[in-house]
Amino acid sequence: MSWVTFDVRTTRRAQLVDITERVADAVARAGIGEGLCHVFIPHTTAGVTINEGADPAVAADIASHLAELVPKEAAFQHEEGNSDSHIKTVLIGPSCEAPVRGGKLGLGTWQAIFLCEWDGPRSRRVEVAVMRLA
């Protein structure tokens, strides 16, 4: 198994950042032919997901519609003022997986891996584990 950790600096409160190249680089350096890539983010107001990377309008739509689904100003108990960020992170989740085939990240043609920032700008840590499948 190979572990790689990297940091991503986000620039807006809500933002989907395409981290596909950095994850693909971690997979390539792992030297594992056939396996599984697990991407994890150790935060409570940011998540990771796989979705379309070809048209940036898709990421923009995801962010804008999640903002409508979970408004920032609502009757929340959490006093930090970022309950919407926590809830959007629950919806997106803290991890995602993709196959490793022929030593490369095996995403579909239109897929990309996104760090989903909901309470930025901040520095976020991304942990990539690449596991060999026997």
Which positions lie near Zn ion, rule CB under 5 A?
A: 80, 82
Residue 38 or 86 having the CB closest to Zn ion: 86
Residue nearest to Zn ion (CB): 80
Q: Which residues are bridge partners to 9 per DSSP? A: 123
Tell me the closest approach of the beta carbon of residue 22 to Zn ion, in angstroms.
Answer: 26
Minimum Å gap between C-beta 77 and Zn ion is 11
Q: How far is CA 48 from the centre of its chain?
A: 2
Closer Cβ to Zn ion, 22 or 88, answer by number: 88
Q: Whole-number minimum distance, CB 88 to Zn ion, in Å?
A: 12
* CB of 114 or CB of 118, closer to Zn ion: 118
Single out the residue of 6, 114, 119 nearest to residue 56, CA to CA. Answer: 114
Q: How far apart are CA 65 and CA 57, in angstroms?
A: 12
- Which CB atom, from 38 or from 72, has the smaller least distance to Zn ion? 72
